């Protein structure tokens, strides 16, 4: 017995209806390869150098040498294109081990940054 095949567009439409709602509220931008960020655990002297891979007005994606706890508050220090240090408080929303043994960390800013600040950091 031959089964009727659905066109690929129908499969994609069915799949799209089963996907969770969109989580991100702001557009992400890929950072330059050498976008360094100094991450400091809030209310602590613990710091680590990280590398930003994407940035939006609502948060940042980082690659870090050590894991951090989800929900932990941090301070992220970026040096903008104008060489001025931007200090942005954030909260860890995910932390995942990568194949190269680095940690991919997602941070949500406690308060969205302005478009001017975003442009300066993406410089």
Average pLDDT over residues 52-65: 94
**What's the CA dihedral at 32, 36, 40, 45 to 10 degrees?**
180
Q: Where are the beta strands (DSSP E) in the chain?
A: 29-30, 36-41, 47-55, 59-64, 73-79, 85-97, 103-109
Please check the confidence at residue 7 and state whether its pLDDT lies above 70: no
- Domain encompassing residue 86: 26-122
Please check the confidence at residue 34 and state whether its pLDDT lies above 80: no
Instruction: Answer for the pair 120, 29: CB distance below 8 angstroms, yes or no.
Output: no
Domain tally, the chain: 1
- CATH number of the CATH domain containing 82: 2.40.10.220
Q: Percent of the chain beyond pLDDT 70?
A: 78
73, part of any domain: yes
- The pLDDT tens digits for 44-55 are 898 999 999 999
Average pLDDT over residues 61-68: 95
Q: Which residues of 11-29 are buried (b: 16+ CB within 10 A; e: fewer)?
A: eeeeeeeeeeeeeeeeeee
109, part of any domain: yes
Please check the confidence at residue 114 and state whether its pLDDT lies above 60: yes
20, part of any domain: no
Any bridge partners for residue 89, and if so which?
Answer: 75
Please check the confidence at residue 122 and state whether its pLDDT lies above 70: yes
Please give the mean pLDDT across all residues of the chain: 83
Average pLDDT over residues 90-95: 96
pLDDT of residue 53: 92
70, part of any domain: yes
């Amino acid at each position: 017995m031959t089964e009727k095949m659905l066109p690929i567009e129908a499969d994609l439409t069915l799949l799209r209806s089963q996907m969770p709602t969109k989580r991100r509220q702001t557009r992400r931008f890929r950072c330059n390869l050498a976008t360094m960020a100094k991450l400091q655990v809030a209310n602590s002297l613990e710091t680590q150098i990280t590398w930003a891979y994407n940035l939006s007005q609502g948060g940042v994606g980082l690659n870090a040498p050590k894991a951090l706890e989800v929900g932990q508050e941090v301070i992220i220090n970026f040096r903008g294109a104008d060489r001025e240090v931007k200090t942005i408080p954030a909260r860890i929303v995910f932390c995942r081990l990568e194949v190269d043994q680095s940690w991919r960390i997602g941070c949500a800013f406690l308060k969205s940054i302005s478009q001017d600040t975003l442009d300066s950091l993406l410089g």
